[in-house]
Amino acid sequence: MSATTVTPHTAVPGASSADARIPLRGHLRHTGALIRRNLLWIRQDPESMADVLLMPIVFTLLFIFVFGGSIGQALGGGQEQYVQYVIPGMLAMMSMTLSQGVGTGFSQDFNSGVMDRFRSLPIGRGSVLFAKIAVELARMLFATVVLMVVAVLVGFHISHWAGLFATVGLSALFASSVMWVFLTLGVTLKNAQSVQAMGFLVLFPLQFGSSIFAPPTSMPSWLQRFTDYNPLSTLADAARGMMLGGPVAHPLWVTLAWSAGITAVMGPVAIHKFRTKS
């Protein structure tokens, strides 16, 4: 279904109350149909996959060959040491960065009239949101495969393969929780540009004020305290522990707590905003 062929529809009165009467099987069927719709749209517009293909390549090569030598020496090695340090952090970074796409895409669907069509149909309102999240997670998994291929080519060594799969699962869990934040922004803000601008204001402090790209030991004390509970730091530290060996319990549980808390707070907000948006 192409977004350009859909005309806006007026939402059916009482659609929100009808949503509560849809059984679980109906919600799952609606979600599956909407996932298929989103995947067909990607097939018709393959350029929409450019970010998940190029971002892992560009960022990995950029940080390794620009910062790898100097930061690697601070880690007690060289560029090879930095490769082992930064790749798990890149997994954490992608889980946050690619999550932004769900908000911009959601906003574009609203402005094109697609969401008016969905809200006029007798389908579960949450199904629209869950389908968006599922497709974005699939895009993130594709980006993860690209990242790991590039990582191996530049010398990354995986010590624990089971830890790699556990890291991918943890990153997907955290990404799905962050997507509720961007879905809320996609419903609340007027256009995709506003969602993207707000997303960068959130992403940059979290990404660079973390242990993703460099150890926080050289940071000011106040910034170190911030990185200690920054969810991207705990996700990156958990990834290093699971993939390469090292402490896992504390960063793992903190990341899980962040994921559960963000989902519990922002999930209902996003669904409510979607149901009541005029």
pLDDT tens digits, residue range 106-129?
Answer: 788 777 777 667 666 666 667 788
The answer to whether residue 13 is domain-embedded is: no
Is 226 among the domain residues? Answer: yes
Residue 10 domain flag: no
Query: pLDDT-derived band of residue 146, with 50, 70 and 90 as boundaries?
Result: very high
Query: Per the structure, how many domains does the chain have?
Result: 1
DSSP letters for the chain: --GGGPPP-PPPTTHHHHHTTS-HHHHHHHHHHHHHHHHHHHHH-GGGGHHHHHHHHHHHHHHHHHHHHHHHHHTTS-HHHHHHHHHHHHHHHHHHHTTHHHHHHHHHHHHHTHHHHHHTSSS-HHHHHHHHHHHHHHHHHHHHHHHHHHHHHTT---S-HHHHHHHHHHHHHHHHHHHHHHHHHHHHSSSHHHHHHHHHHHHHHHHHSSSSSS-GGGS-HHHHHHHHT-HHHHHHHHHHHHHH-S--HHHHHHHHHHHHHHHHHHHHHHHHHHHH--
Does any domain span residue 99? Answer: yes
Q: Is residue 232 part of a domain?
A: yes
Q: What is the pLDDT of residue 20?
A: 53
Task: Assess if residue 266 is contained within a domain.
Answer: yes
Provide the residue range defining the domain that includes 170. Answer: 21-276
Is 5 within the bounds of a domain? no
Q: Does the residue 8 lie in any domain? A: no
pTM above 0.75, yes or no: yes
> Would you state the pLDDT for residue 6?
39
pLDDT tens digits for range 210-254:
989 888 888 888 888 888 889 999 999 999 999 998 889 999 999
